[in-house]
Chain A
Amino acid sequence: MLEVCALTKRFNGIPVVEDVSFTLKPGEILGYVGPNGAGKTTTVKMIIGLLEPSEGQVRFQGRSVIEDLPSFQARIGYVPEEPQLYPHLSGREYLQLAGRLRGIQRSILESKIDELLRLFSLWEDRHCPVSAYSKGMRQKILLSAALLHNPDLLILDEPLSGLDVTTALVLRELLEGLAARGRMILYSSHVLDVLEKVCSRVLILNKGRVVAYDSIEHLRDTMHESSLESIFGQLTREQNHRAVAADILEVMQA
């Protein structure tokens, strides 16, 4: 189980994430949503150990992750919002690097890489440098790297970014399959309709604070809204989106 306890991050004294707490149990997909600048990526970075929290802690299977970060990182798969890959490596070489650093033996690793490259339709481009890949192709490489070692916890930060419709559907099915096998999935995204379909619970963040943390059904019932989008709008919207769009049109035509 992943426990995030009162996580806070301040940059130059300004709080970006404040007192965020949640738990993620085996077999659960938690949707982590919020408007731009709400603190989603900062939270994710604190969880995986890229950023040190100002306050609070992250516990995995009862132990603070800071105590042994590499052991924790060995059990997670992480897909970042911005693909950061070595441009001179080919997709295959990056997966080899990731697999080797995770200690996967060559005989197992090579066959896994080949299978994943075929399944993600990257086989033809496996020897091309990553710099020649489209954003979607890079995202597929990151997804493959995150899945190579069969992680217990999968952390996805905008995983659909750049992906084509077919791959997005594959990913949705895959997440449901992983959850059914007892994996924990933290899914941070803006794409609310996908979250609504795959997540058992959702945490809505606004200006670094948790404004809702419940199952989607319960939120629908208590807030008398029919969709996650309308719940999200009610909790986070400060402006009328129609009015803003009308104002932009006016500025354009002036």
Chain B
Amino acid sequence: MKWLEETHGVQFELVRHFLGRILDGEWSSSPGQWRPAAIGLFSLFLPAGLLLVREGTMNANYASKYLRLAMAADRAGIRAAAIADEAALITLIVCVTGLIALLEWQSLFPSGRDYLALASLPVRSRQIFTARFTSMLLFSTAIIAAMNVLPSLIAPIEFGGGWQLDSSYWRHAGAQALSSGLACLFVFFAIVALQGCY
């Protein structure tokens, strides 16, 4: 923490400034800004909630779907169900990411205010641009990572079964985190690129 408090290079200081601004402006629970913070938190837990809600449902057929399928002789049923649920989960995570990208895409690039407020300081325009982009990338990656943590831990338990080639829990969790994380990044930058076309 002490290292963070010290003065570092221009690029680091700019990233610190822009990152702080994103957290202050968009996601903090400072007076009058509790709604975006609440929506942000809700969106982070939504994908994990999808899995947890089903596990806790009163309908025994639905809650123990995988147990029943695992008992069946044919592995094709459990595999098809897992793929369908996996696709639904990734779609939901990707949709939340898309929503974040739509809300945040304007923050990716420096505004006129950034250039004017930093005009008299020894900072190059490209350093401002790079820092702004880096801070947004860090922020998005953190959001995507946070959104994927719980689903990646729950999914192997939920979908795990004898049909898998490699039934190691941690491998399955890693694969889940990697695939949905990359899907999120793809969607995030695809939306930013599409917005940039206009």
Contacts and interface: CB of A to CB of B under 8 A. Distances in A.
Interface stretch (B17-25, B42-50, B138-146, B159-167): B17-25
Given A88-B25, A106-B6, A106-B7, A101 B120 contact: no
Interface in B1-33: 5-8, 10, 13-14, 16-17, 21, 24-25
Contact of A84 (B10, B119, B122): B119
B123 interface: yes
Contact of A73 (B6, B17, B25, B121): B121
A98 B21 contact: no
A182 interface: no
Given A97-B17, A101-B10, A105-B7, A73 B117 contact: no
Contacts of A73: 120-123
B120 A86 contact: no
B71 interface: no
A106 to B, nearest CB: 5
A127 interface: no
A70 B13 contact: no
B113 to A, nearest CB: 7
Contacts of A74: 122
Interface in A83-117: 84-86, 88, 97-106, 109
B41 interface: no
B119 A48 contact: yes
Contacts of A97: 13, 17
Interface string B121-148: 1111000000000000000000000000
B120 A77 contact: yes
B121 A102 contact: yes
A101 to B, nearest CB: 5
Contacts of A70: 122-124
B24 A106 contact: no
A105 B122 contact: no
Nearest to A86: B117
B116 A100 contact: no
B175 interface: no
| Size class of the B contact interface (CB-based, 8 Å) | 20 to 34
A139 to B, nearest CB: 14
A86 B123 contact: no
Contacts of B87: none
Interface in A137-180: 145-146
B67 interface: no
A78 B120 contact: yes
Nearest to B5: A106
B131 to A, nearest CB: 10
Contacts of B25: 88
A101 B14 contact: yes
B83 interface: no
A50 interface: yes
Interface in B78-137: 113, 116-124
A80 B119 contact: yes
Given A86-B117, A88-B25, A105-B6, A71 B17 contact: no
A119 B14 CA distance: 28
Contacts of A80: 116, 119-120
A69 interface: yes
A88 B5 contact: no
A143 B18 CA distance: 23
B7 A85 contact: no
A109 B13 CA distance: 14
Interface of A: 48, 50, 69-71, 73-74, 76-78, 80, 84-86, 88, 97-106, 109, 145-146
13 contacts: A48-B120, A71-B122, A73-B120, A78-B120, A84-B116, A86-B117, A88-B21, A97-B13, A101-B118, A102-B121, A102-B122, A103-B7, A145-B120
Can you list the 4 inter-chain pairs with the closest CB atoms, starting with the nearest? A78-B120, A84-B116, A73-B122, A74-B122
Given A73-B121, A100-B16, A145-B120, 16 more contacts: A48-B119, A70-B122, A70-B124, A73-B123, A78-B119, A80-B116, A84-B117, A88-B25, A99-B7, A100-B8, A100-B13, A101-B13, A101-B118, A101-B121, A109-B7, A146-B120
